[in-house]
């Protein structure tokens, strides 16, 4: 039997998360907004039918949303992250070899299941169990390549007859799927390549694979050729071996015209650095350096412009919160210029990431690394039991001046004890 891959995709994930705790919205139009309530980043099927486009600025469709009674939510990343963890946990109980591709997608290595009928049954049980246990609808595509599996998941989502699982395991099924699939929707075909292909008469995925290998290599380089081979049934993209991110970025755009006080930007940068250190510890890694950046709005020609980009190299790779936060704040202070600058965005990037069991020490290191590690572990345990940032570095502060604008945010039902739903019998 051929080797098969699966792609599990949560349907309209952000909207589905909100519907879990608002069952009255199950069949009604829902949208979720981006940071600072700027643009529409998630739409239910009902919202799509109203003609609401992905990425459209909120202010442009506010009247349309109100007129049609569309439920509007600000992005609630704590809720979405926890719901994603629950989905992936249940998914891994059915399929041990999974690679989490994004917050709402995971690739599955199905090579150990050698019967398509059994595989389809197991997959449908998994989809049904996740919906019953977490409340999130999932579509699962199965095919001999990851690109085809992603295509199959789209069909599983669009057509109820598949019962959440679409399998492309024969040349006949593959040909039929390719002929009905728009080239612009193929995974790996970007907007630029899509326009070029349409110019050359390529409308569907089937049209694309009719092109010669030489033509594809010339017009679309090695990346396009890989997609071409995958659509023809030749697996070129294996499951990822890396279990951790090679760089971690935490950043945020600030509401209104931005921040102009150093203490406000310091507080924001301190919190971003703390989150980077937490993510490093969660994946059992350390970073060799960090980048601290902040910049004013590029679209405000009527205001003074400034850009901060400071690199800090650590003598010994670290994931310690105090060390990363203090160095990030010091870097910002060194780069700060006097004047009235309104910074619209800032962030921290952890670079040169490696596993925490492969650290090269420094003979002249003055830090007690064992003590530092033990303290970080205790802080993480306290915060896990009592809530995020219960214990924090003082410079992280408690100001709301830099926090995102989120007028329509829902409660953190699964991560904050104060927001747990109370049922009265």
> Which tens digits make up the pLDDT trace of 218-235?
888 888 899 999 999 999
Angstrom distance (rounded) from CA 344 to CA 89: 37
Report the largest interatomic distance among the alpha carbons of the chain, rounded to a whole angstrom: 69
What are the pLDDT digits (tens) for 51-107?
Answer: 999 999 999 999 999 999 999 999 998 899 999 999 999 999 999 889 988 999 999
Higher per-residue confidence, 40 vs 401: 40
CATH class of 170-237: mainly alpha
What pLDDT sits at residue 389? Answer: 80
Identify the pLDDT of residue 386: 79
The better pLDDT of the pair 301, 46 is held by 46
Mean per-residue pLDDT for 313-341?
Answer: 93
For 336, what's the count of Cα atoms within 13 Å in the CB-facing half-sphere? 21
Mean pLDDT of 398-415: 82
pLDDT of residue 239: 65
Residue 50 has pLDDT above 70, yes or no: yes
Query: CATH 3.30.1490.100 occupies which residues in the chain?
Result: 248-396
Place 207 in a pLDDT band, splitting at 50, 70 and 90: very high
Q: Name the band, by pLDDT with cuts 50, 70 and 90, for residue 138.
A: very high
* pLDDT tier at 242, thresholds 50, 70, 90: low
pTM of the model: 0.80
Give 18-60 as a 3 state SS string.
HHHCCHHHCCCCEEEECHHHCEEEEECHHHHHCCCCCCCEHHH
Alpha-carbon distance of 344 to 38, in angstroms, equals: 14
Cβ atoms of 223 and 263 within 8 Å: the answer is: no
278-293: per-residue pLDDT in tens? 999 999 999 999 999 9
d(CA 175, CA 168) in angstroms, rounded, equals: 9
Q: How does residue 18 score in pLDDT terms, banded at 50, 70 and 90?
A: very high
Residue 252: alpha-carbon gap to chain centroid: 15
**pLDDT > 90? residue 210:** yes
User: How much is the mean pLDDT over the chain?
Assistant: 90
Pick the closest to residue 32 from 51, 18, 11 (CA basis): 18
Of residues 372 and 128, more confidently modeled: 128
In the chain, residues under CATH classification 1.10.150.20 are 170-237
Among 28-42, 162-176, 232-246, the minimum mean pLDDT is found in 232-246
| pLDDT given at position 58 | 94
Q: How far apart are CA 98 and CA 183, in angstroms?
A: 27
Contacts made by residues 51-58, CB under 8 angstroms, sequence distance 24+: 58/33
Q: Which of 4-8, 81-85, 150-154, 251-255 has the lowest mean pLDDT?
A: 251-255
Answer left, alpha or beta for residue 256, where phi above 0 means left and psi between -120 and 50 means alpha: left
Confidence of residue 372 (pLDDT cuts 50, 70, 90): confident
Domain with CATH 3.30.70.270 in the chain: 1-168
pLDDT > 70? residue 275: yes
Listed range (29-38, 124-133, 300-309, 414-423) with the worst mean pLDDT: 414-423
23 pLDDT above the threshold of 80: yes
The mean pLDDT of 310-321, rounded to a whole number, is 94
Q: Alpha-carbon distance 139 to 391, whole Å?
A: 40
Which of 419, 420, 421, 417 has its CA nearest to residue 387? 417
* Per-residue pLDDT at 1 exceeds 60: no
Q: 393: which DSSP letter?
A: -
CATH placement of domain 248-396? 3.30.1490.100
Segments in 210-364 forming alpha helices (H): 213-231, 262-282, 321-335
Q: How far apart are CA 166 and CA 143, in angstroms?
A: 9
The predicted model gives 4-26 an average pLDDT of 95
Q: Average pLDDT of 139-157? A: 96
Between residues 80 and 3, the one the model is more confident about: 80
142 pairs with which residues across the strands?
Answer: 6, 167
* Residue 364 phi, psi (nearest 5): -100, 15
pLDDT at 115: 81
User: Where does the pLDDT of residue 301 fall: very low under 50, low under 70, confident under 90, or very high at 90 and above?
Assistant: confident
Three-state DSSP state, 191: helix
Superfamily designation of domain 1-168: Reverse transcriptase/Diguanylate cyclase domain (3.30.70.270)
β-strands 138-143, 165-167 pairing? parallel
Where residue 190 falls among pLDDT bands split at 50, 70, 90? confident
């Amino acid at each position: 039997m051929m080797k098969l891959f699966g792609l599990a995709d949560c349907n309209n994930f952000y909207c589905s998360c909100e519907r879990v705790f608002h069952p009255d919205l199950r069949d009604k139009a829902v949208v979720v907004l981006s940071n600072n309530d700027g643009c529409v980043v998630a739409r239910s099927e009902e919202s799509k039918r109203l003609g609401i486009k992905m990425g459209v600025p909120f202010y442009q469709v506010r009247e349309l949303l109100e007129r049609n009674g569309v439920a509007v939510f600000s992005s609630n990343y704590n809720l979405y992250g926890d719901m994603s963890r629950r989905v992936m946990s249940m998914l891994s109980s059915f399929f041990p070899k999974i690679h989490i591709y994004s917050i709402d997608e995971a690739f599955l290595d199905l090579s150990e299941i050698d019967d398509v009928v059994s595989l389809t049954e197991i997959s449908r049980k998994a989809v049904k169990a996740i919906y019953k246990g977490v409340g999130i609808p999932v579509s699962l595509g199965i095919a001999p390549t990851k690109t085809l599996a992603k295509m199959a998941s789209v069909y599983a989502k669009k057509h109820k007859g598949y019962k959440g699982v679409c399998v492309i395991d024969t040349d006949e099924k593959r040909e039929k799927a390719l002929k009905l699939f728009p080239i612009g929707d193929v995974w790996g075909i970007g907007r630029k390549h899509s326009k070029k292909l349409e110019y050359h008469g390529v409308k569907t995925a089937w049209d694309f694979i009719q092109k010669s290998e030489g033509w594809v290599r010339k017009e679309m380089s090695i990346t396009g050729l890989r997609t071409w081979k995958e659509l023809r049934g030749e697996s070129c993209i294996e499951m990822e071996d890396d279990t951790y991110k090679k760089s971690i970025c935490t950043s945020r755009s600030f509401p209104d015209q931005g921040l102009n006080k150093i203490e406000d930007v310091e507080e924001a940068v301190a919190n971003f650095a703390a989150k980077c250190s937490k993510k490093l510890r969660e994946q059992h890694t350390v970073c060799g350096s960090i980048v601290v950046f902040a910049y004013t709005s590029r679209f405000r020609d009527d205001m003074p412009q400034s850009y901060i980009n400071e690199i800090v190299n650590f003598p010994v790779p670290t994931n310690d919160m105090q060390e990363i936060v203090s160095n990030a704040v010091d870097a910002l202070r060194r780069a700060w210029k006097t004047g009235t600058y309104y910074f619209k965005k800032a962030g921290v990037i952890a670079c040169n990431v490696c596993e925490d069991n492969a650290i090269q020490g420094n003979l002249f290191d003055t830090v007690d690394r064992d003590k530092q590690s033990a303290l970080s572990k205790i802080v993480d345990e306290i915060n896990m039991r009592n809530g995020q940032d219960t214990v924090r570095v003082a410079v992280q502060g408690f100001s709301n001046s830099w926090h995102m604008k989120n007028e329509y945010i829902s409660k953190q039902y699964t991560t904050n004890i104060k927001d747990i739903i109370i049922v009265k019998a």
